Amino acid sequence: MLNRYPVWKYLLILFIVTIGGLYAAPNIFGTDPALQVAATSRNVVDSSTQKKVMDVLDGARIAYRRVVLDDKGLLIRFNNVDGQLRAIDKLREVLGEDYTLAQNIASAAPEWFASLNAMPMYLGLDLRGGLHFLMEVDMETVLGQTRERYTNEFRSTLRKQKIRAVSILSKSEGMNIELKFRTDDERDKAEMAIRKDNSDFQYVTKEDGGSFLLLVSLKEAELQSIKKQALQQNVTTLRNRVNEIGVAEPVIQQQGDSRIVVQLPGIQDSARAKQILSATATLEFRMADVNNSIETAQAGRVPATSRIYYERNGRPILLKKRVIITGDRITNASSGFDSESGTPTVNVNLDGAGARAMALTTKTNLKKPMAVVFIEHKTTTRIVDGKEVVSQKKVEEVINVATIQGVFSRRFQITGLDSPKEAQTLALLLRAGALSAPIRIIEERTIGPSLGQDNIDQGMKSVIIGMALVVIFMVVWYRGFGMVATVALTLNLVLIIAVLSMLQATLTLPGIAGIVLTVGMAVDANVLIFERIREEVRMGNTPQASINAGYEKALSTITDANVTTLIAAVILYIFGTGPIKGFAITLSIGIVTSMFTAIMGTRAIINLYVSGRRIKTLSI
């Protein structure tokens, strides 16, 4: 029979619409400005912390909605951004460095939505407000550090082989290291010794004024690899820093060969963000001093060759002053599990010099503990006599102590970790400290929350006006069928928002532009169908046959038009950046959902009305 869907199609449409409405609903409730209070490694967040925070806020007469204690710490919800900013300043004064304070945005939807993983879609920097940084990695310094490291490595190699060089100089042009010898025999021996552990270099020999020169230069592929590693290393480090700020959906991505874009939606404290992002960190491997007691050292009798350090739980430990290797010798680190015991581990790779130093140390210190010290330089800003005073603070923490079970060099495992999460964190810290490439901020933009709200208001107004005009046109021109198209258009917007929320995609101002464009394109399919139905009616076909022919004959045209538009949207996403990607994402989602609502959705509604009925005229 014409114009009748099987029951399963109606159930499928109903299911999709229900799920779409469920996952789009959290966006109706909006969000609250919030503060996340988390403890450092030496503190905990409990009910007493909650009471202390509430007393501080009440004493300062800062209005807040509620303070919730969960496994992540305290979440404080506020009525507005002003209260959020006042609270973070006051709590920093009272809590000090014992706790980490992070500005955040919390969904105002009922808790049961979160249990279904139904969360509101993220808002981009231009809608929520926040900070935008463009950072540049100093590649010249990176290459300079690499040259110096290899120069020292070559010098050590020749010393061990008892080969005397007149001079060993690193030169910036071409990533060259020049070794000068008195005889060609010494030069040939030196080349053989260096080639043994360094296959990534090109070697050129020549004579200059009676001296025999060996020019060692990194291959172009290795140069690019060093630059890429430096850039990726800094992205990892910055992502780790941003986690400390507590931004819900930061954007940290590579731009070009030497730049990194960092966007922090919802953050307005530019000074603190810059302090955290520009902080430097490194690692040191040291042997524990097992010949002296920590109690004696704490009493004031610290051995000349040792120093007192503290683990993250506050426990003191005595370590040797001599550093085995530092973080710049680590080429890679990854978390995993031990094949025999199944316990969490961290797999570490070292470069040539680091491998030799580690092999020598482990060979002579079997069954002795070795520690990993994480060192960070933090910038703190204090207000003194009404002026900002910036000071540097060096933080040193022992993040791991493990007993050396065997001799190892280039590759080894760090065991004794409590959980896979700790292993992942340690691997991240090791990778973050592997190469400290200097970064400088070359561009900074602050978008205020009021401007972001203006963008939201203007964007919503454009969607509403655009939809209202389309609805008026469709109802006036196509009457009853126009009302059906209006219902489909509304469902289309709901589904777009639902998909963005389910994907946890970030909605930006160009994304809203994509939605507005979709509003116009969504009814385009119905215009083609309805015009085809009109033609069939004019040709003398019955209303039932005209409806069936209109949908079937217009389908190929609709499919062709939408597929070509989708191809263009995919190309925009692949080759575009930032705002262009946001536009392409919402446009692509809108095309897919409009195909569903304009064809299946409207057909289902019309079928329910005309199926099994004898109709003489159509309201079209």
Question: Where residue 190 sits, what CATH number does that domain have?
Answer: 3.30.1360
Quick one: pLDDT band at residue 44, thresholds 50, 70, 90? confident
Total domains in the chain come to 4
| CA nearest neighbour of 453 among 130, 129, 109 | 129
Question: Residue 617 above 90 pLDDT?
Answer: no
Domain shared by 285 and 424, yes or no = yes
Domain shared by 541 and 588, yes or no = yes
Question: Residue 544 above 70 pLDDT?
Answer: yes
Encode pLDDT of 491-535 as tens digits: 988 999 899 888 877 777 888 888 888 877 778 888 888 888 888
Average pLDDT of the residues in 271-284: 65
130 part of a folded domain: no
Domain shared by 87 and 181, yes or no = no
Domain, as residue range, for 527: 7-26+448-610
CATH no. for residue 52? 3.30.70.260
DSSP label of 4: -
Average pLDDT of the residues in 118-127: 78
User: Which alpha helices (H) appear in 4-133, and where do they start and end?
Assistant: 7-24, 26-29, 47-59, 81-95, 111-115, 125-128
Domain shared by 388 and 537, yes or no = no
Domain shared by 430 and 292, yes or no = yes
Return the minimum-mean-pLDDT range out of 48-57, 374-383, 448-457. Answer: 374-383
Residues 321, 327, 328, 331, CA torsion sign: positive
pLDDT at 455: 74
Average pLDDT of the residues in 448-452: 63
Of the candidates 426, 446, 466, which is a domain's last residue? 446
- Collapsed DSSP state (helix, strand, coil) of residue 433: coil
Task: Give first-to-last CA distance, the chain, whole Å.
Answer: 22
Domain shared by 455 and 542, yes or no = yes
Return the minimum-mean-pLDDT range out of 100-109, 263-272, 391-400, 560-569. Answer: 263-272
151 part of a folded domain: yes
Question: Residue 418 above 70 pLDDT?
Answer: no
Residues of the chain above pLDDT 70, percent = 85
As a whole number, the mean pLDDT across the chain is 80
Quick one: pLDDT band at residue 142, thresholds 50, 70, 90? confident
Q: List CB contacts of 214: < 8 A, sequence separation 6 or more.
A: 178, 179, 180, 181, 187, 190, 191, 203, 204, 205
454 part of a folded domain: yes
Instruction: Pick 246 or 132 by higher pLDDT.
Output: 132
Paired residues of 307 in beta bridges: 319
Return the minimum-mean-pLDDT range out of 49-63, 153-167, 410-424. Answer: 410-424
User: Within 10 A of 41 (CB to CB), how many other CB atoms are there?
Assistant: 11
Of the candidates 65, 85, 108, which is a domain's last residue? 108
Average pLDDT of the residues in 121-131: 76
Domain shared by 478 and 539, yes or no = yes
- DSSP line for 38-54: EE-TT----HHHHHHHH
Burial (Cβ within 10 Å: 0-12, 13-18, ≥19) of residue 560 = exposed
Residue 269 corresponds to which tokens in the numbers above? Answer: 């404290």
Of the candidates 399, 415, 446, which is a domain's last residue? 446
Encode pLDDT of 473-488 as tens digits: 888 888 888 888 888 8
Quick one: pLDDT band at residue 63, thresholds 50, 70, 90? confident
User: Which alpha helices (H) appear in 110-219, and where do they start and end?
Assistant: 111-115, 125-128, 139-160, 184-197
581 part of a folded domain: yes
Instruction: Supply φ then ψ for residue 154, to 5 degrees.
Output: -65, -40
Domain shared by 482 and 416, yes or no = no
Quick one: pLDDT band at residue 282, thresholds 50, 70, 90? low
Instruction: Pick 169 or 434 by higher pLDDT.
Output: 169
Average pLDDT of the residues in 380-400: 66
Radius of gyration of the chain (CA): 33
Domain shared by 589 and 524, yes or no = yes
Question: Residue 470 above 90 pLDDT?
Answer: no
| CA nearest neighbour of 212 among 193, 185, 177, 192 | 185
Pairing of strands 122-123, 506-507: parallel
DSSP label of 121: P
Encode pLDDT of 178-233 as tens digits: 888 888 888 888 888 888 777 777 888 888 777 888 888 878 787 788 888 788 87
pLDDT at 160: 81
Please give the sequence-ordered ranges of beta strands (E in DSSP) within 194-250, or none if there are none.
201-208, 211-218
Average pLDDT of the residues in 452-471: 81
Domain shared by 35 and 22, yes or no = no
Residues 85, 86, 87, 89, CA torsion sign: positive
Burial (Cβ within 10 Å: 0-12, 13-18, ≥19) of residue 614 = exposed
pLDDT at 436: 53
590 part of a folded domain: yes
Domain shared by 438 and 428, yes or no = yes
Quick one: pLDDT band at residue 434, thresholds 50, 70, 90? very low
Domain shared by 284 and 382, yes or no = yes
135 part of a folded domain: no
Quick one: pLDDT band at residue 19, thresholds 50, 70, 90? very high
pLDDT at 389: 60
- Can you give the three-state secondary structure of 288-311, one letter per residue? ECCCCCHHHHHCCCCCCCEEEEEE
Average pLDDT of the residues in 601-614: 82
pLDDT at 416: 62
CATH no. for residue 586? 1.20.1640.10
Q: List CB contacts of 240: < 8 A, sequence separation 6 or more.
A: 428, 429, 432
Mean pLDDT comparison of 51-65, 326-340, 411-425, highest-scoring range: 51-65
| CA nearest neighbour of 510 among 124, 250, 134 | 124
134 part of a folded domain: no
Q: List CB contacts of 347: < 8 A, sequence separation 6 or more.
A: 333, 334, 335, 336, 411, 412, 413, 427
182 part of a folded domain: yes
Residues of the chain above pLDDT 90, percent = 4
- DSSP line for 374-428: EEEEEEEEEEETTEEEEEEEEEEEEEEEEE--S--SSEEEE---S-HHHHHHHHH
Quick one: pLDDT band at residue 567, thresholds 50, 70, 90? very high
